Amino acid sequence: MKSDCIQTTICQERKKDPIEMFHSGQLVKVCAPMVRYSKLAFRTLVRKYSCDLCYTPMIVAADFVKSIKARDSEFTTNQGDCPLIVQFAANDARLLSDAARIVSPYANGIDINCGCPQRWAMAEGYGACLINKPELVRDMVTQVRNQVENPGFSVSIKIRIHDDLKRTVDLCRKAEATGVSWITVHGRTVEERHQPVHYDSIKIIKENMSIPVIANGDIRSLKEAENVWQITGTDGVMVARGLLANPAMFAGYEETPLKCIWDWVDIALELGTPYMCFHQHLMYMMEKITSRQEKRVFNALSSTSAIIDYLTDHYGI
């Protein structure tokens, strides 16, 4: 958390409280936690294009609490970055509550990652292995509730589903009883990667919950988002790769408009985004609007000035 940002980052827009948004009856459009990608600059961009709620990338709570360097590099925000949820990977209730207390003045809530299927995360006791540890999830939620004084601070979880959906419903009911604010459901099991998303399972989970539920998985356009929202009966939809490819997706654009590309250039330069991240986002955004030959040229560019020259020469804006 860089000191030059902290002084102005306390969120003033409590009217944008996520819980109120979920109870509005409108589709709540959410930017997913994406490692390396859903940082401040990208969150700023998608907010310009009708994204209602943004998550930070997953942050390892233990490192965040123990290392000032980790805090400075992993969490940067500003006054316009609201509403904001900070997602943590954790397996220890005390460390998670300490991390939550640190970010609580600068965010609307925290989310516990109970869905990451990557081997390293599960080996550390993070991510999707937590869907088999409802007692630990309960302890982490309870500890955060006890440690963070702000009663409006949300504590949510993001999960994958079990092969036996009854276990998932049981997990969600226990989480709800513990005081979880809402649950995001990625409609695949831990083993599934590119298989179809089980939207029917998300619907069943939603029907068994009184708290808000967000649907997640393979949503690539506003029309798909609205369809999933209707099919599942959920309170919002969360998008990851669809927003990387088209940050203006929630505003109804079928592919990234040129204005969005130049908005990204302006935002990234203003916020000092590292070159690798700046370039990578543009490669995602331009995937559908450039030819194979253009991709080869653009992807080989090695400086910010070369990128700006390329965009100016080819798109004349």
Residue ranges of the binding site for FMN:
33-35, 87, 186, 240-241
Q: Judge whether 116 counts as a catalytic residue.
A: yes
CA–CA distance, 24 with 148 (Å, rounded to integer): 26
In b/e form, how buried is each residue of 49-75, taking b as 16+ CB within 10 angstroms?
bebbbbbbbbbbbbbbbeeeebbeebb
Q: Which of 5, 11, 116, 172 is the catalytic position?
A: 116
CA–CA distance, 136 with 157 (Å, rounded to integer): 12
Residue 297: other Cβ atoms inside 10 A: 12
Return the SS3 of 78: coil
CA–CA distance, 183 with 235 (Å, rounded to integer): 10
CA–CA distance, 68 with 76 (Å, rounded to integer): 13
State CA 273 to chain mean position distance. Answer: 18
Q: Which residues contact 280 (CB under 8 A, 6 or more apart)?
A: 36, 37
Secondary structure E strands in 161-303: 183-186, 213-216, 236-239
Which CA distances in Å does 237 have to 79, 193, 215, 224, 294? 24, 19, 5, 10, 33
Return the active site residues: 116
